[in-house]
Structure 1
Amino acid sequence: MEQKLIVPKISIDRVLEDSFQLIDVRSPSEYKEFHIPGAISLPIFTDEERAKVGTIYKQEGNEFAKDIGVELLSKKLPALFKQIKELSHNVESKPLVVYCWRGGMRSKSIVTMMSSLDISILQLEGGIRSYRKLIIEELAAHSSSKQYIVLEGLTGTKKTDILTELEKLDYPVINIEELASHRGSIFGQIGLKPRSQKEFESLLYHRLMELKNSPYYIIEAESKRLGSILLPDFLLQGKERGERIHINLDLQSRAKTICETYHYEQHKIEFEDAINRLERHFSSEVNQSLKDLLQQQDIESVVAILLKEYYDPKYEYTSQKYTTRVHTLEIHSLQDGVNKVSQKIDELVKSYSHV
């Protein structure tokens, strides 16, 4: 009787509990859209080869697709073997775990081959789909009663920068804009690498795991959508019931902050395209002023007009919807903001402990 080959497997729960070196053998575009943090990309197929195998599978069946897959893989085996061997022999090496989409042929073929060559390696059971399923379930079930402290203020008041500094000081910050790789305005994606919804949710899940023992979260007041990213309901609900710290910074400083953040000189086309998309919100006089100032390269004045005529009124309208307690702070610089916000947070947290 033919003995069935046993492929050593490991569950996603076990992988996340310990320290492993993950190897993602999916195509480059699959990896780019979404991967388990820390995973190394060693694709078996290019995007074009994966599409070719998929087409043959649909048109001619599984056996023909396997034949093409084996033919393509055989040419890459020496290079893959060398790379995986180096990973396994690294002085600081961790146990190796390989995954594809569903724990199918791609990862199975690598585990089988490497095991036959005496390289210890495991296959992730269920592939990255098991990881994605875990994230969806965890985020859907996340309805904590933790206190939320919400940092708010007009555009350009250094809110995200303050949160970044607070996170460095080990405050329980969920920096939504950083996780989404989007700054939350029509200019939000300029100069940033876009993230998929799946990648955002993966990063959010891991941050929540890091903060699972914290009695409260600190977030920025965000809308439901950041570019193409949709925020989960529990964050929006936390924002609505959270205690607010409102930051005030003068208009000139806010305009300067925006200019320093978006680097107009490096992204002129994207910046001016964004301004053109706002044109319908302004009078002909304001639009003409914007065009004149752009021609003069007076970007701070352009930004000041955008803040005063569009972003500030929009913010004021939205902020009227919230009725929770608000603490207003006047700041003059980033460090001043960090000092004052951290002091206020410490006061609030101390008061919670006495409730």
Structure 2
Amino acid sequence: MEEEKTTITIDELMGKDYLLFDVRSPKEYEEYFIPGAKSLSIFTNEERAEIGTLYKQSGKEYAVERGLGIVAPKLTGIFQKIKSEMQNNPGKQVVIYCARGGMRSKSISQTMNLMGIECLQLIGGIRSYRKSIEQFFHEMAKNAKRIIVIEGHTGAMKTKLLEKLQNEDYPVINLEKLAGHRGSIFGGIGEEAAAQKKFESRLYERLKEIQHSPYLIIESESKRIGRVIIPQFLLEGKFFGTRIHVHIPFTMRVKHICEVYNPSLHKEQIEEAINKLAKRISPPIRADIEEAVLNNDYEKVVSRLLESYYDPKYAYAKEKYDSTCVDVAASTFEELYQKVKNEIDVIIN
């Protein structure tokens, strides 16, 4: 008689339509999770910390006993939540995972099986997913793809170009979107920055979607975007890939930045960012910027920041590149997009 299957590997899981539950703490889940997984924390952040301390100070037996005492009253709620999700997702196999495929996921999957819900435990937990990401990046680095880099001054609508290209099924890697940050000191305004593991999970999922493309399209980025570090195999695209440098009128850049950041809603954050730049801007220009903020003249704020800081900084950085570069200029976004698209088509063909 064939033994009933109780576990599943990450390779068996990926690409399939399972009903995933992450039983780690809310803090662990927030850092990153397997795409599609629903949070089913059996310990709060504080309870997890308490059990970890108990394990170190008194040993495994005491930690397990305390853990059982915490989880036992929650079992009915856990059972009801899984049943509810099953009703909303008929026919899907339930999979439970924790950090490393240890006590948390094993205890919940076994208990749910006893209560009549067929569950599988993910072998290795989310760590097995993490290893898949690391291995995938390693292979990407060994088998480098051709990279097309969209570059240009701050506010030159690079992200908008990438979004439209991606909507038309070009193999775009929108690094700023994946990072939840637009880059620069102002880049976190109105955004929710991702932790490194969440960023790498998002990048991994996107790269898998376009893994059969012989080339990638990215924006020229620094090594770090907000809280995350860009993998080296993508950074090298800045120096060795084909670059398309976009140019639009200065006033158009200013208006676009104001539209994107909507500064009237983020005045305090903008003032905080300006204070961080204080040492890099001359006192007269800083005073001019501060006065413009007081007067809600954000186009003037943006103009002064571009003229005194961002444009000179970009010009200096650009001198480091010696790869092939194509210049594209336009006075409307539609014209710019069509020209960039035409250049990409020429490059890839």
Q: TM-score normalised to the size of structure 1?
A: 0.94
Q: How far is 1:254 from its partner? A: 0.8
Distance 2:196 2:89 in 1: 36
- Name the structure 1 match of 2:257: 258
Q: Residue 11 in 1 paired to residue 2 in 2?
A: no
Q: Residue 202 in 1 paired to residue 201 in 2?
A: yes
Q: Residue 110 in 1 paired to residue 117 in 2?
A: no
Alignment map for 1:141-220 (pairs within 5 Å):
141-143=139-141, 144-220=143-219
Maintained 8 Å contact 2:154/2:253: yes
- What code does the residue aligned with 1:67 have? E
Q: Residue 96 in 1 paired to residue 112 in 2?
A: no
Maintained 8 Å contact 1:57/1:65: yes
Which ranges of structure 1 fall in alignment gaps of 5 or more residues?
A: 351-355
Q: Residue 234 in 1 paired to residue 226 in 2?
A: no
Which ranges of structure 2 fall in alignment gaps of 5 or more residues?
A: none
Residue from 126, 129, 132 that aligns with 1:131? 129
Maintained 8 Å contact 1:21/1:93: no
Query: 3-state DSSP class of the match of 2:155?
Result: coil
- What code does the residue aligned with 1:314 have? K
- What code does the residue aligned with 2:311 have? D
Distance 2:283 2:88 in 1: 65
- Name the structure 2 match of 1:353: none
Distance 1:90 1:236 in 2: 42
Q: How far is 1:342 from its partner? A: 1.2
Larger CA deviation: 32-41 vs 82-91? 82-91
Distance 1:217 1:21 in 2: 32
Distance 1:137 1:325 in 2: 31
- Name the structure 1 match of 2:292: 293
Maintained 8 Å contact 1:88/1:119: no
- What code does the residue aligned with 1:18 have? K
Distance 2:259 2:89 in 1: 43
Question: % of aligned pairs identical?
Answer: 46
- Name the structure 2 match of 1:347: 346
Maintained 8 Å contact 1:7/1:111: no
Q: Residue 325 in 1 paired to residue 324 in 2?
A: yes
Query: 3-state DSSP class of the match of 1:17?
Result: coil
Structure 1 residue runs of 4 or more that deviate by more than 3 Å after TM superposition: 89-93
Distance 1:251 1:169 in 2: 28
Q: How far is 1:204 from its partner? A: 0.8
Q: How far is 1:6 from its partner? A: 8.1
Distance 2:339 2:282 in 1: 38
CA offsets per residue over residues 109-148 of structure 1, 9 Å max, x none? 1110111122111100010011112212221332233211
- Name the structure 1 match of 2:247: 248
Alignment map for 1:54-73 (pairs within 5 Å):
54-73=52-71
Cα-Cα RMSD: 1.5
Maintained 8 Å contact 1:10/1:122: yes
Maintained 8 Å contact 2:144/2:233: no
Distance 1:18 1:284 in 2: 59
**Residue correspondences, number:** 346
Maintained 8 Å contact 2:292/2:300: yes
Q: How far is 1:39 from its partner? A: 0.6
Maintained 8 Å contact 2:193/2:227: no
- Name the structure 2 match of 1:83: 81
Maintained 8 Å contact 1:249/1:332: yes
Distance 1:91 1:242 in 2: 44
Query: 3-state DSSP class of the match of 1:36?
Result: coil
CA offsets per residue over residues 180-199 of structure 1, 9 Å max, x none? 11111110111111100001
Distance 2:233 2:13 in 1: 26
Maintained 8 Å contact 1:7/1:112: no
Q: How far is 1:91 from its partner? A: 4.9
Q: Quick one: structure 1 residues 335 and 135, their matched pair in 2 at CA, closer, same or farther if it must change by over 3 Å?
A: same
Q: Quick one: structure 1 residues 131 and 103, their matched pair in 2 at CA, closer, same or farther if it must change by over 3 Å?
A: same
Q: How far is 1:58 from its partner? A: 1.3
Maintained 8 Å contact 1:23/1:42: yes
Maintained 8 Å contact 1:7/1:108: no
